[in-house]
Amino acid sequence: MAGPWTFLLLCGLLAATLIQATLSPTAVLILGPKVIKEKLTQELKDHNATSNLQQLPLLSAMREKPAGGIPVLGGLVNTVLKHIIWLKVITANILQLQVKPSANDQELLVKIPLDMVAGFNTPLVKTIVEFHMTTEAQAIVRMDTSASGPTRLVLSDCATSHESLRIQLLHKLSFLVNALAKQVMNLLVPSLPNLVKNQLCPVIEASFNGMYADLLQLVKVPISLSIDRLEFDLLYPAIKGDTIQLYLGAKLLDSQGKVTKWFNNSAASLTMPTLDNTPFSLIVSQDVVKAAVAAALPPEEFMVLLDSVLPEIAHRLKSSIGLINEKAADKLGSTQIVKILTQDTPEFFIDQGRAKVAQLIVLEVFPSSEALRPLFTLGIEASSEAQFYTKGDQLILNLNNISSDRIQLMNSGIGWFQPDVLKNIITEIIHSILLPNQNGKLRSGVPVSLVKALGFEAAESSLTKDALVLTPASLWKPTSPVSQ
């Protein structure tokens, strides 16, 4: 019969599953083992892990547990220790960390190799007797699904084993000193694993907690979108293979900090690209990208003195109108005005791995600056190819070309005509006026601060069938091993 702990565990797993089913992520940050190792190594430095190793109380530990815990030999050991003036770690290094999938699903195994040189002073010799010690601390990263709070990642089961411990005398001295050194090393074999567990493992756990807190803070950094801003929040974490995956919800806020749109429920599951050897990937759904594009390109109105700004296009427009109505064409003077109004906000979508932006445009042609009524009004369904590129840690969108997919005559003061007659010249007008203006607004780009925060100088972008993907453009220089 299942015990109460089994029941609580099943309830916790069920609750986590229900949360994940209810909150569909609109973005995912995938961190590979390279980033995990780099961030945890830096946290170990910040938590002075090597200083902690140098302060290991080797001598007192041996006195508390002499000769591996055999009381009969305690007197002999005490006699040996009387010849030791002091015993301490002289230098300590934490070598390259390893992050691998654990034998249990949805867990990571973290290996932390330790390299130390210890020494003791004895009246038997004037020099310090040094010996080399290597061992390996191991810990498990897993998901904590306890009912006391949201699912989070924790590091637990930190320990080191006797099997990974190696102790070797660096320099042989006299027979008597060598024999004493051998006794000291034998006493350290049962003592050192417990010392590491009691003294270093709390530092490792604190370092992981610091790393995890930094990652959560990193994904919450607001992204400026013109006068609005985009913010992400953690929905739940996961461990898959050798990666940590942070599933995110998003919200759009106005200049006053008021939430204008939530994105916690995506219409479909995000397509997750394979990470391969990529240190990290940020996958953002097209719904979020669409809102970002809309925030950057709000509805606006342009009025252009066409003959002054684009005289060649003004001449071709007059010729094209002349094919419809010569009298109307003759009314076009040097102050003719083209008025362009973008209605609503652009629609961003991904089609077969290519991004496009569609928008509704109202275009009016006035014969002069004094005219109160336009010659005609056209409704235009236009679309552009959208190309993302990066410049450092800035993500930039550029609209390439523009096509008039459908043109409708909304109002005419020169009689009815088929608007497709003007399709070429109208497309050229919006390409020359609207496109540069919109690209100018998009050129400032969107800062993606996590790129540099994760240790990279630049990012590159790609598209899946339903999302924008950011990955590092080049590998960063790894942090050197923790040493002191």
Q: What is the pLDDT of residues 130-167, one digit of tens each?
A: 999 999 999 999 998 875 678 899 999 999 988 889 99
Domains by residue range for the chain, with CATH: 34-218 (3.15.10.10), 295-443 (3.15.20.10)
- More reliable by pLDDT, 278 or 273: 278
- More reliable by pLDDT, 125 or 237: 237
pLDDT at 25: 86
pLDDT at 71 over 90: no
Average pLDDT, the chain: 86
Size of the chain in residues: 484
Containing 376, the helix (H) or strand (E) segment is: strand 376-391
pTM greater than 0.95: no
Q: What is the percentage of the chain residues whose pLDDT exceeds 70?
A: 87
Of 83-92, 136-145, 310-319, the one with minimum mean pLDDT is: 83-92
pLDDT at 95: 95
pLDDT at 183: 84
Average pLDDT rounded to a whole number, residues 397-416: 94
